[in-house]
Amino acid sequence: MIVVTGATGQLGRLIVESLVARVPVDQVAVSVRDVGKAQELAARGIQVRRGDFADPASLAQAFEGASQVLLVSSNARAYGGDTLAQHRAAIDAARSAGVRRIVYTSHMAASRSSAFPPMLDHAETEQLLSDSGLRWTALRNGFYASSAMLLLAKGRETGVFEAPADGKVSWTTHADLAEAAAVILANEGQYDGPTPPLTAAQAFDFEELCGMASSILGRPLRRSTVSEDELRAKLQASGMPAPGVDISLGLYRASRAGEFAAVDPTLRKLLGRTPTGMREVIAATLSRTDGGKR
């Protein structure tokens, strides 16, 4: 039995979709905070169990009978919560339930010295997994391409994308990363410990992304560099919590340091095809959101 946590989230749901195409549906279960949001999965014969990282007692039943657990990382830190406490609870519950392997959605830049705060939690979680006595795989995922599109969204409206100086990032789609996770789950033992970076074939900075968007839109999207203090003030004025502000600024600092610039062929090999590129992502996003303005 494979149990996928966070299965009503964007990544988790895509992992389930890809996984049931590779293993019998009765060998897949999901652990979700709100079972009402997973009725579509239940209707397809997938076992739906309530499991909440913030409620450790719920995880014993959620993980019962599992040989593998796909642990989708928590973003509690961005909202003032304790990501590591949640991950520790999930790992402890998996060990108590007799789980053989945990597959964890980590990040390509996981490091205890990263300038991007979530990477510190990823690095510490990998250490928790290493100390757990369980077999484990850390999916060293590339940076989500959807994050780039969210950041560019306001610039599409104004014609100017404002942000601190940045560096190249190997933006990678949720769909490609989910498919790779399903392949690894369906072929247990293919990777022990961290995978190589699971990235698209190229890395781009925001100057290059603005250029792509401009050519697709047929109108300029200019890149404007602002100071970190200026962006911090804008984010604070918008009501963003302090941890979220630190994460936002950390993205630019870490990318300037080259933390997200690596590209690697492992994702292509797992998929058996070229990963989706950013030009394709930008074109698809703009076709959904611009409604004929181009």
CATH number at residue 105: 3.40.50.720
pLDDT digits (tens, 9 = 90+) for 97-149: 999 999 999 999 999 999 999 999 999 999 999 999 999 999 999 999 999 99
What is the tally of structural domains in the chain?
Answer: 1
Does residue 39 belong to any structural domain of this protein? yes
Does residue 283 belong to any structural domain of this protein? no
Does residue 289 belong to any structural domain of this protein? no
Span between the terminal Cα atoms of the chain, in Å: 48
Residue 293 has pLDDT above 80, yes or no: no
Does residue 129 belong to any structural domain of this protein? yes
Does residue 109 belong to any structural domain of this protein? yes
Average pLDDT, the chain: 94
**Residue 65's domain spans which residues?**
2-141+174-194
Place of tokens 């945990």: 102
pLDDT digits (tens, 9 = 90+) for 187-205: 998 899 999 999 999 999 9
Does residue 189 belong to any structural domain of this protein? yes
| pTM of the entire predicted model | 0.94
Break the chain down into helix, strand, coil percent, rounded to 5. Answer: 50, 15, 35
Does residue 273 belong to any structural domain of this protein? no
Continuous segment of H or E residues that includes residue 140: strand 135-141
Does residue 133 belong to any structural domain of this protein? yes
What's the pLDDT at 292? 42
Distance CA 133, CA 109 (A): 24
Residue 67 has pLDDT above 90, yes or no: yes
Q: What angle do CA 9, 14, 15 make, to 5 degrees?
A: 100
